[in-house]
Amino acid sequence: MARVIGTIESLWRYPVKSMRGEECPAVYAGFAGVYGDRLYAVRNAAAPKVFPYLTGRNKPEILLYAPRFRDAAQAAAPPLVAELEKLGIGVTPIYPESEALAVEVVTPSGAIMAIDDPALVAELGEGLSGAPVLSLIRSDRALTDCRPMSLISLQTVAALAGEMGMALDKLRFRANLYADLSGGGFAEDALVGRQVKIGDRAVIAITERDGRCAMIGIDPDTAERDAAIPRHVVQAHEGKAGVYGAVLTEGVVRAGDEILLLD
């Protein structure tokens, strides 16, 4: 029987890969990921072909750039989602034209630039070693590193902070779903291979633990590095914290929604 194992504490999406995220009162969880998540990325032609992006690994300051949608209402969910949900049928929504999801970026200096402004890409290339050739890419499928959804519990963040004897900002972990779970730190690990339902409709299969990289060592407010954080996760938790998921049934997820374990 389904049982409640926690609630959604907050929801986040990242319109541009590796840039600052935005907290949302609700998100549309689609097969391709959270609507509007990792819609854009900056490609580095000098990077390995298997991972061709400019990220905080090679430019920590990219985390200080704050993207936002020009039309927040249109960016909240695909058109007619509310009407489709009232019908009670699993129709995949039609996504809008790209203009409806136009993004602008507030730079660390306070300047506001369109995401496709060549001056923004040029600025991001400043200070990089070698001869980087940067370009902007866009995809309706979230340009995530692994699975389309990520979740970490507040209890896991607190457990890591306790182990290290320091405060840890949950935003270091760049999850889509931050959960308040029963069972203590790393309780989400037990969900791998199982399914959860969140809100009225969304069903997510928890597929694997989230293997962490150097990104969690970058302070989201200052871009300062602390290699001790990813090193501790490697040594104490096999380099993993949080879990990945794949959406089985699309739907709107809201902050405060209960998380039901289905099997």
Residues 78, 96: Cα–Cα separation, whole Å = 7
The whole-number pLDDT of residue 81 equals 77
The whole-number pLDDT of residue 89 equals 60
Pick from 83, 84, 67: which is nearest to 75 by CA? 67
Pick from 79, 95, 75: which is nearest to 26 by CA? 75
How many structural domains compose the chain? 1
- By the 10 Å C-beta count (0-12 exposed, 13-18 middle, 19+ buried), 136 is classed as middle
Q: How many CB atoms lie within 10 A of CB 246?
A: 16
Instruction: Give pLDDT tens digits along the chain (263 positions).
Output: 799 999 999 999 999 999 999 999 999 999 999 999 999 999 988 888 888 999 998 899 999 999 999 999 989 888 877 777 776 666 677 778 888 899 999 999 999 999 999 999 999 999 887 667 899 999 988 999 888 999 999 999 999 999 999 999 999 999 999 999 999 999 999 999 999 999 989 999 999 999 999 999 999 999 999 999 999 999 999 999 999 999 999 999 999 999 999 97
- By the 10 Å C-beta count (0-12 exposed, 13-18 middle, 19+ buried), 28 is classed as buried
- What are the start-end ranges of the E strands in the chain? 3-13, 22-24, 26-30, 33-34, 40-44, 66-69, 103-106, 112-114, 134-138, 149-153, 177-181, 195-198, 202-211, 240-249, 251-254, 258-261
Token pair recorded at residue 97: 């034209």
Residues facing residue 261 across a β-bridge: 3, 196
The whole-number pLDDT of residue 72 equals 92
DSSP per position, 187-224: GGGGGTT-EEEETTTEEEEEEEEEE--GGGGB-TTT--
What is the residue range of 126's domain? Answer: 3-261
The whole-number pLDDT of residue 91 equals 63
| Residue 56: CATH number of its domain | 2.40.33.20
Residue type, 6: G
What are the CA-CA distances from residue 257 to residues 147, 178, 217, 253 (Å)?
A: 22, 11, 30, 7
The whole-number pLDDT of residue 27 equals 96
The whole-number pLDDT of residue 88 equals 64
